[in-house]
Amino acid sequence: YQAAREWYKRLMGRSPDMIPHESEVVWQLSETGWLYVVHDVERAMGKALLTLIVDDLDSHLAEFRERHIVVNNLEVRSGKYRRAMITDPEGNTIYFAELAKADSSEL
Protein backbone atom coordinates (compact mmCIF):
# COMPACT_ATOMS: atom_id res chain seq x y z
CA TYR A 1 0.00 0.00 0.00
CA GLN A 2 2.74 2.49 0.89
CA ALA A 3 4.51 1.96 -2.43
CA ALA A 4 1.24 2.41 -4.34
CA ARG A 5 0.43 5.52 -2.33
CA GLU A 6 3.78 7.08 -3.20
CA TRP A 7 3.50 6.07 -6.86
CA TYR A 8 0.05 7.66 -7.20
CA LYS A 9 1.33 10.76 -5.44
CA ARG A 10 4.02 10.97 -8.13
CA LEU A 11 1.47 10.26 -10.90
CA MET A 12 -0.87 12.99 -9.67
CA GLY A 13 2.02 15.37 -9.03
CA ARG A 14 0.72 16.24 -5.56
CA SER A 15 -0.23 14.87 -2.17
CA PRO A 16 -3.67 13.32 -1.66
CA ASP A 17 -6.57 15.68 -1.03
CA MET A 18 -7.97 13.46 1.67
CA ILE A 19 -6.68 10.67 3.93
CA PRO A 20 -9.79 9.04 5.43
CA HIS A 21 -7.69 6.56 7.45
CA GLU A 22 -4.27 4.89 7.44
CA SER A 23 -5.12 2.55 4.54
CA GLU A 24 -6.87 4.92 2.13
CA VAL A 25 -5.91 8.08 0.23
CA VAL A 26 -8.00 10.18 -2.13
CA TRP A 27 -7.34 12.69 -4.90
CA GLN A 28 -10.08 14.97 -6.22
CA LEU A 29 -9.69 15.11 -10.00
CA SER A 30 -12.73 17.23 -10.86
CA GLU A 31 -15.80 18.58 -9.13
CA THR A 32 -17.37 15.12 -9.13
CA GLY A 33 -14.42 12.83 -9.96
CA TRP A 34 -12.30 11.22 -7.26
CA LEU A 35 -9.49 8.64 -7.34
CA TYR A 36 -9.25 6.36 -4.31
CA VAL A 37 -6.24 4.20 -3.49
CA VAL A 38 -7.10 1.64 -0.83
CA HIS A 39 -5.09 -1.07 0.89
CA ASP A 40 -7.10 -4.17 0.00
CA VAL A 41 -5.03 -7.35 -0.28
CA GLU A 42 -7.93 -9.39 -1.72
CA ARG A 43 -8.34 -6.99 -4.66
CA ALA A 44 -4.68 -6.17 -5.30
CA MET A 45 -4.35 -8.34 -8.37
CA GLY A 46 -3.67 -5.80 -11.11
CA LYS A 47 -7.02 -6.19 -12.83
CA ALA A 48 -8.39 -2.66 -12.45
CA LEU A 49 -8.87 -0.34 -15.42
CA LEU A 50 -9.25 3.42 -15.13
CA THR A 51 -9.66 5.95 -17.94
CA LEU A 52 -9.29 9.66 -17.29
CA ILE A 53 -10.35 12.09 -20.01
CA VAL A 54 -8.11 15.16 -20.11
CA ASP A 55 -8.15 18.37 -22.14
CA ASP A 56 -4.45 18.36 -23.08
CA LEU A 57 -2.84 14.94 -23.28
CA ASP A 58 0.52 16.32 -24.41
CA SER A 59 0.91 18.44 -21.27
CA HIS A 60 0.12 15.41 -19.10
CA LEU A 61 2.68 13.30 -20.98
CA ALA A 62 5.32 16.00 -20.46
CA GLU A 63 4.53 16.09 -16.73
CA PHE A 64 4.75 12.28 -16.52
CA ARG A 65 8.21 12.36 -18.10
CA GLU A 66 9.32 14.97 -15.54
CA ARG A 67 8.01 12.76 -12.70
CA HIS A 68 9.58 9.58 -14.19
CA ILE A 69 6.22 7.92 -14.90
CA VAL A 70 6.58 5.39 -17.72
CA VAL A 71 4.01 5.62 -20.51
CA ASN A 72 3.63 2.16 -22.04
CA ASN A 73 2.12 3.20 -25.35
CA LEU A 74 0.31 5.98 -27.16
CA GLU A 75 -2.70 4.98 -29.23
CA VAL A 76 -4.38 7.23 -31.78
CA ARG A 77 -7.84 6.56 -33.17
CA SER A 78 -8.19 9.09 -35.97
CA GLY A 79 -11.21 11.32 -35.48
CA LYS A 80 -11.99 9.77 -32.08
CA TYR A 81 -9.25 10.06 -29.46
CA ARG A 82 -5.62 9.74 -28.43
CA ARG A 83 -4.74 7.86 -25.28
CA ALA A 84 -1.66 6.90 -23.32
CA MET A 85 -1.47 3.78 -21.17
CA ILE A 86 0.25 3.70 -17.80
CA THR A 87 0.57 0.68 -15.53
CA ASP A 88 0.76 1.13 -11.76
CA PRO A 89 3.04 -0.98 -9.52
CA GLU A 90 0.29 -3.59 -9.03
CA GLY A 91 -0.30 -4.00 -12.77
CA ASN A 92 -3.51 -1.95 -12.97
CA THR A 93 -4.05 -0.08 -16.23
CA ILE A 94 -4.63 3.67 -16.31
CA TYR A 95 -5.47 5.44 -19.57
CA PHE A 96 -5.18 9.18 -19.99
CA ALA A 97 -7.24 10.08 -23.06
CA GLU A 98 -7.95 13.19 -25.07
CA LEU A 99 -11.04 13.23 -27.25
CA ALA A 100 -10.66 14.42 -30.83
CA LYS A 101 -11.57 18.04 -31.39
CA ALA A 102 -14.56 18.71 -33.64
CA ASP A 103 -13.57 20.06 -37.05
CA SER A 104 -14.61 23.72 -37.01
CA SER A 105 -15.44 23.55 -40.75
CA GLU A 106 -18.27 21.16 -39.87
CA LEU A 107 -19.90 23.61 -37.42
d(CA 20, CA 18): 6
d(CA 44, CA 2): 13
What pTM value is reported for the model?
0.82
> Which residues make beta-bridge pairs with 61?
none
Other Cβ atoms within 10 Å of 72 Cβ, number: 10
Q: What is the pLDDT of residues 31-72, one digit of tens each?
A: 999 999 999 887 777 888 999 999 999 999 999 999 999 999
Q: What is the pLDDT of residues 67-99, one digit of tens each?
A: 999 999 999 998 899 999 999 988 999 999 999
In this structure, what DSSP letter does residue 46 have?
A: S
